[in-house]
Chain A
Amino acid sequence: MKALGLMVVVVVGALLLYAVGDFPAWGDPQSPASQHEISRHFITQSIPETAVPNMVTAVLADYRGYDTMFETVVIFTAGLAIIGILGMARLTDRESLKPMAETRPGDRDMIVINTCRQVIPIMQLFAFYVVAHGHHSPGGGFQGGVILGASFILWAIARDLPTALQGIKPRRIVFLAALGVVIYAGTGVLSLAMDAKLLDYSALHGFLPPAPADAVPNEIMARSHGMLIVEIGVAFTVSAIMFGIYTYLSSMGRLKGGL
């Protein structure tokens, strides 16, 4: 079995390396991927059409917003799958799984708890900043959502899992995740109701704040605002699902012990 695996790997590797000779040289501006007109369109037309300097966010949330909506649904489904796999089973008599050392919230490490108390609000503020500033700097919904979820995980590691779950009940985790998907899809459906295509944010310019000092037309500014709304939806879903996956993985579905 091992010899067969090694042979397969060597053959596939040799085939791939044979194709390496055809690849473009490193960093070539004339390579086919860089010369294609759609990349050039994204780079040059991102500010005139959407008023967002970060091209990656513009492409992710506006030009390819359909992909991102279904990616959010995929993350939500993965979280539901983990809850379904681990949460439903009754515990057999393998109770000898290591019981956690201290489960009383009273006497954990003073240093750990106080450090986390200082750090976690700053983490959450930074997560909101990353989501909101994703139009002008690297960032956006996914990065901010993961940082927000990681702050909850940090609280669950510093204390223990039941203490952290008192603030965010398991049912509320699923509700927050679903709320994120509804925000995203709802924006698209609202555009449909305004007699435009799905996820066409410029149709929402009646609801959203107008552009300052009329520098750009209102429809273009509406695209920038619409992107912010869907990024907030993505951040909700990603943060809730990351924390939800952690609670179920670290306690084997029992939601009692924890790391």
Chain B
Amino acid sequence: MIWQFDLIVLVLLVVTAVISLHVKDLLSASMVFGVFSFLICLLWAGMGAVDVAFTEAAVGAGVGAVFLIATVFNTTRDSSD
């Protein structure tokens, strides 16, 4: 039962990574990067790496996305590609 869940999360991981790099609005890219971090945290929790999942949830989705959004607010929101 669990390998199906893993398969879906892995495919979603690649999809969110490609979307985050493809959108032209940098704020949306930062938010989708936060989603990518959360999905990786789920994957690690399923693998039994609970410490790593805890750290990724706090650091990647919490603090990392905030840094990106703070920079986007202070520079510019649109990008050419």
Contact = CB atoms under 8 A, between A and B. Distances in A.
A245 B73 contact: no
22 contacts: A54-B51, A98-B73, A138-B50, A142-B59, A143-B54, A146-B55, A147-B58, A147-B62, A149-B63, A150-B58, A150-B62, A150-B66, A153-B63, A246-B66, A246-B67, A246-B70, A249-B70, A249-B71, A249-B74, A250-B73, A251-B74, A259-B69
Contacts of B59: 142, 146
Interface string A143-163: 100110110010000000000
A147 B55 CA distance: 10
A71 to B, nearest CB: 12
Interface residues of B, number: 16
A153 to B, nearest CB: 6
Contacts, number: 50
Interface string A112-153: 000000000000000000000000001110110011011001
Interface string B23-34: 000000000000
Contact of B70 (A138, A139, A146, A259): A259
A56 B44 CA distance: 15
